[in-house]
Amino acid sequence: ETQLYVVPTPIGNLEDITLRALTILKSVDKILAEDTRKSGVLLKHFEISKPLQSYHVFNEHKTFNHIIEKLKGGEKMALISDAGTPAISDPGFLLVRGCIENNIKIECLPGPTAFVPALVKSGLPTDSFVFEGFLPHKKGRQTKLKALAEEERTMIFYESPHRLLKTLEQFTFFFGNDRKASISRELTKLHEETINDTLQNLNQYFKEQKIKGEIVIVVAGKK
């Protein structure tokens, strides 16, 4: 019997929660949430009231044993993050691995995650791609970029608005001016925008404006 459900939540548009996600969230004993305040707002919207326990990068090691023991003892839990699918550039991996090692049955519901719509809207090959998440900020960044310059699959990155320009400049340098790319901003939200162009043109475009919102960068692989 399933003890831990990994439950994706909307990345902007509340209507993207699935019917099954609501059913599961209503049925579990406890919800593990990255930010109990943010998730409280979401759960309230769907009229779900459940005990919340915080589970985030800063306590996931510390709370791990306790959660595993509770799951073994028969407590049913759902893991959610602030947005999208837990364990995708979010906490969750440690707990999933721990459940597997302890023979605790888990399920992961399919649902919202930012990189899939960004990849599809990029118009770049979807048959083979690599998800890189956030690039390292300092240590290992150049090495990573050098290696990725040889990557032939479509590449997907998560980025914050204040780092976008720096990243685009480096992409232009390492991958070349003419490499095709796509930038998706504010997916599923009111100001959703996707721009498909060369790295050079994207660089120029974003230099000329104030960059806001959440961003996914998709870059064509090396030909």
CA 120/CA 184 separation, integer angstroms: 10
- Taking the least distance from each CB to ligand SAM, the nearer of 51 and 110 is 110
Q: Min. distance of Cβ 152 from ligand SAM in angstroms? A: 23
Calculate the CA 32 to chain-centre distance: 17
| Partners of 1 in beta bridges | none
E strands, the chain, in order: 4-6, 30-33, 52-54, 77-80, 106-108, 129-133, 154-159, 180-185, 193-198, 215-219
Q: Min. distance of Cβ 193 from ligand SAM in angstroms? A: 10
The residue nearest ligand SAM at its CB is 84
Residues near ligand SAM (CB under 6 A):
11-12, 81, 83-85, 88-90, 113-115, 158-160, 184, 186-189, 214-216
| Partners of 154 in beta bridges | 129
- Taking the least distance from each CB to ligand SAM, the nearer of 129 and 158 is 158
Q: Min. distance of Cβ 34 from ligand SAM in angstroms? A: 9
Q: Min. distance of Cβ 219 from ligand SAM in angstroms? A: 14
- Taking the least distance from each CB to ligand SAM, the nearer of 75 and 82 is 82
Nearest to 82 by CA among 113, 121, 120, 59: 113
- Taking the least distance from each CB to ligand SAM, the nearer of 60 and 214 is 214
